[in-house]
Chain A
Amino acid sequence: MSILNNKTFRDILSQFIVVTALVLFIWHIVGNLQHNIEVRGITTGFAFFGDKAGFGISESPISYSEDSTYFRAFLVGLTNTVYVSFVGIFFASILGVIIGVGRLSKNFLISKLSLLYVEFFRNIPLLLQILFWYNIVLAALPGPRQSIALWANCFLNNRGFYIPKPIFGTSFEYVVLAFVVAIGLVVFLSKWATKRFEETGKDMLVWPWAILILVTIPLVVFNLLGSPLSFDYPALRGFNFRGGMSYSPEFLALAFALSVYTASLIAEAVRSGIEAVAKGQKEAAASLGLTSYQSLKLVVLPQAIRIAIPPILGQYLNLIKNSSLATAIGYPEIVTVFSGTVLNQTGQAIEIIAVTMAVYLTISLFVSLILNIVNKKLAIKER
């Protein structure tokens, strides 16, 4: 019997061949790379991170100026990526759940309009949507002098969206503390209600009480401390608004397009999650005499959530990755700032693209870590 017919030997041999081929391939590429780097005189290494950036960034949640380092610019890009992703995820979730539930509504108009929404927005490239909102809708807004005035001193014009900026007084932290205490009380209350329900069978609606607690306690503390919160209102001075907080058209277009697009995908996840709950479960709940609200809360939703959460988290990850399309309209997130401006200035493509990819890989590893934890928590506990 030849040694070639030995399974262990063959396994080792085939793996050996693959590894050798891969090593040769990488060796070849790295050789070419080194040669090309020498020929073109590209500098290498990460020393450029400490150099002065020398370019401005239009919007930045952290302090940044032209004198800051490239590393600071990198951080600005990263915070902007995280910021716009959070905003996008927040609105996409709300909109997605509403539309996903709307798909199952008995009302003909609601379900058909939800279907139309899903089929329309998920079948158009996200980049097209971003460009449309940015180049057509936001560009068509009036100039600062003819701003559209919304409630509470908010203004919308083609330079952005202006809202009052809260200025927190010195004792405002006590209000925050009161809020934390209120959250603690609500948690305690819901635990107590669950316990009482299990012992005596008396059910109670927790959420009206929860809202009452969450609103009154901080509000009372706030008023006792003499309202330690004021607003800096945006006002028209000269040709533009001064004061307040503003969101640039780039941010608005990106956040809006990301939310609207991802909402259509989240809606599908929500719908299929709810539909995946076996009909027998609802019938069983009904035959136990549960009301439709109880059946939804105690039987359908716990099972639907288990099915819907993994695809929804996957969509969150996609949204974070899709925020890189900002580069098409120039919102200064990590790809625009770092793989764009910094790369053009330093020419160190290898390091910069590697770092950018590493950032996204870290984020996606982080999200899959959360996904695993959630999956473990939600897993069916079999007897």
Chain B
Amino acid sequence: MTEEWVLQCSGKATPRDPAVRIPAIGLTIDPAWRDSDELRAVLSGLEEEQVPALCSVGNGDALALAADAAAASVVSVGVALGADGRVALHHARLPAATPLQLIDVAAGLAACRVLGTNAARLVKGIPLHT
């Protein structure tokens, strides 16, 4: 897995072209989660909803990583799996301390996938999974 790649809406992972700012969710993962089932669960939530994501590896806790990813995202939505073992969903227009969703990976793979689904639905403007 490279340091930066794009999950296309067709489900394919491709290298990122830094010259293009694609409208995609920002997804940052702490290296600890690089090849985890939790990451695959979040990604499958995004893929089922057919929304692209710009994925990168970075160090930090979920909340801060997600806030940064959201700030950098063209669609203002960021998701992160942090070193603190948590998964966060953030929006650039929310205060940094109040993410839309913040869960512990212990909540399970299904919860991770729902978080991915909700990130995509936030971009699409359809009601979130409850």
Chains A and B form a bound pair:
no
Where the two chains meet, the residues of A that have a C-beta atom closer than 8 Å to any C-beta of B are none
Where the two chains meet, the residues of B that have a C-beta atom closer than 8 Å to any C-beta of A are none
